[in-house]
Structure 1
Amino acid sequence: MFECLSLLTTEPDTAMRNTLSLLLLTLSTTAFAAGGHSHGKAELDIALDGNTLTLALEAPLESLVGFERAPKNANEQERVKKAAEKLRAADKLFVISADAACKLQSVKLASAVIDPALLGEAPAANAAGAKAAGAKEEGHADLDGEFVFRCDKPAAVKSVTVNLFDAFSLLQRVDARAASAKGQHAAKLNGKSRTLSW
């Protein structure tokens, strides 16, 4: 699937490249998720398109907050809020090659079983629909994050160091994949080996 991303560098229409890039990231994450939901692990897709670096994270809620369902009490709601606060400080969790001068532009967080307000997002347009969707995922719910950085020198983006392990003690491994004009790269990251380089 990432082979298709190399075609994006020759496409003249930037809007089309961005659309294709996001579509491929979504497909990649969906395809990887079909491989299985595993506690202590997360998936991270990284795509560099022009000066936009997009990171897409999919992690079992268990790995981030210790449970995989809607919070049942104020203590659990607070755990979700704290996890969301940590994820919103994405420039500390994902350290990009310093020479690239990348700045965090946006963060989007979502889970089928968590109220968007607890994640710092706008309320869902169809709250009843969100609860219905969450009901069928009650046993294995995930949290998805999209982190967008704007890089002044995108050619200098050569690595991303993942510091999620410091923020989330239950997280043991991140399967990371990157796609850029330089090709596709992958690594299994952990607390001792945190950097995907290319």
Structure 2
Amino acid sequence: MRRLLLALPFALLPLAVAQAHDDHDHEHGTLPAHEHGVARLNVGLDGNTLELALESPAMNLVGFEHMPGSDADKAKVEAVRKQLEQPLKLFGLASSAGCKEDQQELESPLFGSDPAAKHDDDDDDHDHDHAHEHQHSEIHAHYQLTCATPAKLTQIDLSPLYKAYPQTQKINVQLVGPSGQKGIESTPGNAVVSF
């Protein structure tokens, strides 16, 4: 699945999230690329289409970043993968909005070469980052949903995500919706983000 809807708005989005960070959370004016306990969520609402793109260090979700070797590690990765395959259980959306999942894409070096995993054709970029990902593995989940009544979608509750993955302490959210663009820092105690 191509990230057309999210790609342009977030490429143009000023680093509003940086304003939400404390000075100690970033150095030299840039956001950290990989920080344990911190995830990123891009949300785009355009007409009836809602897109959610979650990027998180594997440590936040599975508790480790190495390639799963033991049966216990493999079981943990599979359990997390199954959770991520159910976005409507991880993201609290108003039921009155009538959102249904259309497409999803889950990516991580931890998922291996499972045919159920849908990978982009960017093999050159993947190979370039391959060694780095083994040391600092990330999990990316991208969802496209269609909402029957998008006007009823005024907020997203991230509480279920925090409960499923308690090692996640903060989610930097970038929203693009009918009321414009904004960056929000979410925490377990402040888990509801509004459009």
Normalising by structure 2, we get a TM-score of 0.78
3-state SS in 1 of match to 2:173 = strand
Distance 1:122 1:55, change over 3 A: closer
3-state SS in 2 of match to 1:170 = coil
Which deviates more, 39-48 or 66-75? 66-75
> Within 2, Cα distance between the matches of 1:51 and 1:115?
33
- Pairing partner for 1:74 from 56, 71, 75: 71
Q: CA deviation at 1:80?
A: 0.6
Amino acid at match of 2:72: N
Amino acid at match of 1:166: K
2:49 is aligned with 1:52: yes
- Pairing partner for 1:185 from 175, 182, 187: 182
> Within 1, Cα distance between the matches of 2:177 and 2:45?
5
- Pairing partner for 1:136 from 132, 135, 156: 132
> Within 1, Cα distance between the matches of 2:62 and 2:12?
25
Q: CA deviation at 1:122?
A: 4.8
Match of 1:150 in 2: 146
Which deviates more, 95-104 or 171-180? 95-104
Q: Where do 5+ consecutive residues of structure 1 fail to align?
A: 1-17
Contact kept? 2:9, 2:176, Cα under 8 Å: no
Q: CA deviation at 1:123?
A: 7.6
Q: CA deviation at 1:189?
A: 1.4
2:105 is aligned with 1:108: yes
Aligned residues between the structures? 177
Percent of residue pairs bearing the same amino acid type: 26
Contact kept? 1:25, 1:56, Cα under 8 Å: no
3-state SS in 1 of match to 2:133 = coil
- Pairing partner for 1:86 from 78, 83, 87: 83
Contact kept? 1:175, 1:189, Cα under 8 Å: yes
Distance 1:38 1:69, change over 3 A: same
Amino acid at match of 1:161: D
Match of 1:15 in 2: none
Q: CA deviation at 1:138?
A: 2.0
C-alpha root-mean-square deviation of aligned residues, in Å? 2.8
Compare relative contact order (CA 8 Å, sep 6+) and give the higher one, 1 or 2: 2
Deviations 1:67-118 (A, max 9, x none): 1122122211111110011111110111112321111222211014531429
> Within 1, Cα distance between the matches of 2:97 and 2:125?
41
Q: Where do 5+ consecutive residues of structure 2 fail to align?
A: 18-29
Contact kept? 1:116, 1:124, Cα under 8 Å: no
Match of 2:7 in 1: 23
